[in-house]
Chain A
Amino acid sequence: EAGVVQSPRYKIIEKKQPVAFWCNPISGHNTLYWYRQNLGQGPELLIRYENEEAVDDSQLPKDRFSAERLKGVDSTLKIQPAELGDSAVYLCASSLGAVDTQYFGPGTRLTVL
């Protein structure tokens, strides 16, 4: 099995431009997470979905970040407009349920110039 799939793997944009990241979780996994990992830091949770419902988005900067998980499978995380400080690795993870082991994707490395 491929595991959690993320695309693109790398993205370079100029500040003020929009950017979107896509995640396809492991088949059958109801819970999906988006994390941001700044250089030299551990991952920080941005948002958690249970099926198509965002049940924890308290850490998501809602002025510029948005996310969706239509039909409770794939998910998209968007930043508009991007700022220099958004440069980071964006990780997607999925689990069978909220209390189960999380499986991480390879991440998308975003560079904002």
Chain B
Amino acid sequence: AQRVTQPEKLLSVFKGAPVELKCNYSYSGSPELFWYVQYSRQRLQLLLRHISRESIKGFTADLNKGETSFHLKKPFAQEEDSAMYYCALSLGQGAQKLVFGQGTRLTINP
């Protein structure tokens, strides 16, 4: 069955420290993966998608098919990174059918 697992519900790090939000997936097809973010009192929005291979707000994520992972990383956390982060797997081409993980609440301490 298709599934996305985010093992940490809560993650707290200090400003300036590295951040890694974990995401593992289970899917027999060719995966397309995304990270979505929801800042306080704002809408859920796309942060990045693996096919873009770009860095957004200093975040990067590499798809590791061998480990079936798509961890989100940032070398130096900033207070404005505090938010809810969701990893999502597309079951079709592009973003047409997304399966979301449970989410990780990231808190950056000053």
Query: In this complex, which of A48, A56, A91, A104 has the most chain B Cβ atoms within 10 angstroms of its Cβ?
Result: A104
Q: Is the CB of B43 within 8 A of A42?
A: no
Q: Is the CB of B43 within 8 A of A99?
A: no
Q: Is the CB of B43 within 8 A of A95?
A: no
B42-60 to A contact mask, C-beta < 8 Å, 1/0? 0111100100000000000
Name the residue of chain B whose CB is nearest to the CB of A31. B96
Q: Is the CB of A44 within 8 A of B100?
A: yes
Please provide the chain B residues from 81 to 100 with a CB less than 8 Å away from any CB of chain A in the complex: 86, 88, 92-100
- Known A-B contacts A42-B86, A42-B102, A43-B100; A100 and B44 likewise in contact (beta carbons under 8 Å): no
In the complex, what distance in Å separates the CA atom of A107 from the CA atom of B42? 10
| Interface size of A in residues (CB-CB distance below 8 Å) | 24
Q: Is the CB of B92 within 8 A of A98?
A: yes
Q: Which residues of B contact A99 (CB under 8 A)?
A: 92-96
- Determine how close the nearest CB of chain A comes to the CB of B84; give it in whole angstroms: 9
Name the one of A45, A97, A105 contacting B98, with C-beta atoms under 8 angstroms: A45
In the complex, what distance in Å separates the CA atom of A40 from the CA atom of B84? 11
Residues of B whose CB lies within 8 Å of any CB of A are 4, 9, 43-46, 49, 86, 88, 92-103
Residues of A whose CB lies within 8 Å of any CB of B are 3-4, 31, 40-45, 48, 56, 91, 95, 97-107
4 closest residue pairs by CB, A with B: A99-B94, A42-B100, A98-B96, A104-B44
